[in-house]
A and B are shown apart, each in its own frame.
Chain A
């Protein structure tokens, strides 16, 4: 597996030794980590600065003094796109299968029982980081697409909709009550703005980002 570069692993655990040990382990695998002694600290960090645009993941202890891991997870879920950007891996000393199943169903990336085989954990962390990277990439692409769509004029958008549906230029001209020549000009402008070369590619891009 490709090591994920420029990534951050957040560690939230009330046991300092565990934080230190995990950080050490991650460092040995060349992963940068940031540790938090409690859920409140992490939440404060998240709200004070914008979510970084690089891959990240969260190692979260379930049972902690103060806010528990589960309630922190519930709060993170309220925040738009956070658990996708920062996948959560729960760590627990108490095997509780129903809780594990439930949290995973609700969107946690994984649920690891302590003590765990460390390198397996690190492998899971890397997978989580990759998912995070992928998500960031997708959101970046969609962002770009939406920007491009926003650049289109009213007329260009109308022409684009029909083009994507596979309507010939002549019929588009008839429907919009404009000349075929004008349709061709608009069509070229749309392709240019959307950075595609054909109607098929355009349809694929739109479909991939749910704009169709």
Chain B
């Protein structure tokens, strides 16, 4: 389109340039033709004045002849001058010395000859008049187009005679115009119908002709002066060149404008890009989330400062590595497998991320939360993986702290309840005990009054015995009261044990395992859970059994605190025991075992080996299990550690529960 437009424009330009050139040439031609007309007319007028000057009425015929001869010598366009009388008869004649023409004198005096016609016109108008042109044979085959002019000679208001001059049209052109004529011009007199009367010039002919016609209006005769100018066909090349140059200049200009604009836009885009890059860099640097990109071969292609700070390695140490130096050696194998799985692109990881453990440069381990996303380039192809890392050490610590404080709070609450309970109980029991003690001591006091009893008379003795009897009755009554207090406490405990749920072993463990695993991760203990499939649902107070499992698991893990990492393993099993038709739970550790002196008091309330313990854990566990008509046992685990076992009844045996 643009090309068509440009080409069209160029063509129009060339055409316009040609038109302009042609019009220039035409203008010049018109000017030259007009100039020629002016010159011819002035030449004719000058001749008229000269002829007027040689008035035959004031000179002698000899003088006339001399002066006319002089004139004819100078004015070569005049072929013949006649002096005619009033009745047109020729009185005197002078001819040009340059050519010889055979004139037929009689013909010239005929009333219809051109000279006579002109003179009659002159006589009528009383001023010079021209005749129309005519062809005169000039000896042999030659001929020329001639024209007569007649000047009436006035004297005292009457015409006394006429001066008739004969012009050769050809020579008018030669004498008046030829010096101004250029090489490529041709000038001619034509009749109004286009017949050429006389031609001059045009030695060189071009392929294109320009024509200008001017009217030469003479009294008595009107001729057309036609000027032809021969030109080369307007040469296209210079015009095309001009057009091309112009076009190229325009094109250059527009290209320049476009370039400048483009450059400006490019600069702006570059600046924007720079800004965007700086912004992104600042964003990456300010992130506390570690970022790492890996290519499809697993080589690290990018890490941000937060990631470097997190693992303690510099970016140079990490880039290009396919085996990450921040992998803890003991877990590296697993990570390599995980990476291979990821690189195989089997499953695009979900956005929820996964937890892992990394190693700092100084060897310390720390937990991280990893989010991974495929790295897609602008062409939509995956080029690697982008991962975001969050150091969750602090989060873990906070979780641990809140859990610990929560546990402490619960323990305190329990302690407070226990304390309150104990206080209430002691008050309730103190009163009857005190009363009993008082009665007993009082009775003893009565009996101990030395020797008195023997001395007393019978009535007083009976009175004294009655007193003692009443004291004994009161003691019995108070003992009963104390017993009631104890019974009410027992009733309360029994009421609590009456909530029973139907629950499977798997559900029970599911409820407990998150807490156990959390603590296991913290203590570095591996946890193994074995649940026999298709266990029948059990009947138990699930909350209490959960507490028992938690307690046993925690004790087990704490017992392994000083054990080598490889042995830190907690096993929780739930198996079916056919003979008793019960589900047997066992909690096994590989810890230090239970020393003999501790074993003796293992289930004693308020006995503990832990600095912060209350000593109620195992005794409570035993109580709970006993409420489920089971027994909490412990035995030595092989090769080391302890196993705690207890069993729970299944749902069908509800009636067995007391």
Contacts and interface: CB of A to CB of B under 8 A. Distances in A.
A115 B443 CA distance: 17
A24 B474 CA distance: 11
Interface string B420-458: 000100110011111111111111111000000000000
B161 to A, nearest CB: 179
B438 A93 contact: no
A25 B434 contact: no
Interface in B394-426: 423, 426
Contacts of A119: 441, 445
B478 A17 contact: yes
Contact of A94 (B423, B435, B438, B441): B423
The DSSP consensus for interface residues of chain B is helix
Contacts of B554: none
Nearest to B432: A17
Contacts of B526: none
Contact of A115 (B434, B439, B446, B481): B434
B199 interface: no
A49 to B, nearest CB: 28
B471 interface: yes
A115 B441 contact: no
Nearest to B427: A93
A118 B442 contact: yes
B438 A21 contact: yes
Determine the interface band of chain B, counting residues with CB < 8 A from chain A: 20 to 34
B595 to A, nearest CB: 34
B427 A18 contact: no
B434 A21 contact: yes
Interface string A96-116: 000000000000000000111
A36 B443 CA distance: 23
Contacts of B445: 25, 28-29, 119
B431 A93 contact: yes
B435 A17 contact: yes
Contact of A25 (B426, B433, B441, B478): B441
A94 B445 CA distance: 27
A18 B437 contact: no
A15 to B, nearest CB: 5
B142 to A, nearest CB: 171
Given A24-B442, A28-B443, A93 B435 contact: no
Given A28-B445, A29-B445, A18 B434 contact: yes
Contact of A18 (B431, B443, B444, B446): B431
Contact of B431 (A17, A25, A29, A116): A17
B431 A24 contact: no
Nearest to A118: B441
A24 B438 contact: yes
Contacts of A137: none
B646 to A, nearest CB: 38
A53 interface: no
A200 B471 CA distance: 58
A180 interface: no
Contacts of B477: 17
Contacts of A21: 434-439, 442, 474, 478
A140 B369 CA distance: 89
Nearest to B441: A118
Interface string A1-42: 000000000000001011011101111110000000000000
Contact of B481 (A17, A24, A26, A114): A17
Given A15-B435, A18-B435, A93-B430, 19 more contacts: A15-B431, A17-B474, A17-B477, A17-B478, A18-B434, A20-B435, A21-B435, A21-B442, A22-B438, A24-B471, A25-B439, A28-B442, A93-B426, A94-B423, A114-B430, A116-B437, A118-B438, A118-B441, A119-B441
Interface of B: 423, 426-427, 430-446, 471, 474, 477-478, 481
Nearest 6 Cβ contacts at the A-B interface: A21-B438, A118-B441, A28-B445, A28-B442, A21-B435, A25-B442
19 contacts: A15-B431, A18-B434, A21-B438, A21-B442, A24-B474, A25-B438, A28-B444, A93-B426, A93-B427, A94-B426, A115-B433, A116-B434, A116-B437, A117-B437, A118-B438, A118-B440, A118-B441, A118-B442, A119-B441
